[in-house]
Amino acid sequence: ERCEMVDGQPECIQETFSICWLAGGPHYRSFDGKTFDFMGTCAYTLTTICNPDPALPAFSDEVKKEEKENSKVSSIGSISIHVGNVTVTAVRSENGMVRVNNHRSRLPISLSHGKLRIHQKGRSMLIQSNFNLKVLYNWDDHVVVKLPAALSGKVCGMCGN
């Protein structure tokens, strides 16, 4: 739930989310619940707004896939989240750290006057934006992207439409 002022009165509004995940390198589940495998070894957009609109947040999530040693399966090398003029990159095995605009930083971090917050949650990194984008990455082989359902049908990429 989130609190909002409606006609001068505080009200709790139930929030719903769409979830996408990438597991083990090649396994995906999109926001609309479709599962698929994709073995590519390149940089891929997981999520971005399809048609730029000033009413919608400007963001994108990108995953860099690389060949896994002694395997035919690709693995996650890094994940980057771009929000406004900030790029946060989490690199495989750099536990407890992220790169903010290419500068290494220890967690937790608050950026852009609190509009982007990054902290460790268990063995994973959690990025949260002020528009309720949430990205969880375990510095290894699992990524979860949560978006407010209000952005449903407005995003493109491997997770999107």
Q: pTM for the whole thing?
A: 0.88
Kind of pairing, strands 17-23 and 9-13?
unpaired
Q: Would you kindly state where each structural domain of the chain is located, as residue ranges?
A: 2-156
Token pair recorded at residue 76: 């996650």
Model pLDDT for residues 56-104, shown as the tens digit of each residue: 899 999 999 988 777 777 889 999 999 989 999 999 999 999 999 999 9
Model pLDDT for residues 58-70, shown as the tens digit of each residue: 999 999 998 877 7
Spatial contact of 80 and 64, defined as CB atoms under 8 Å apart: yes
- Whole-Å CA distances, 7 to 4, 11, 14, 15, 139: 10, 9, 17, 19, 45
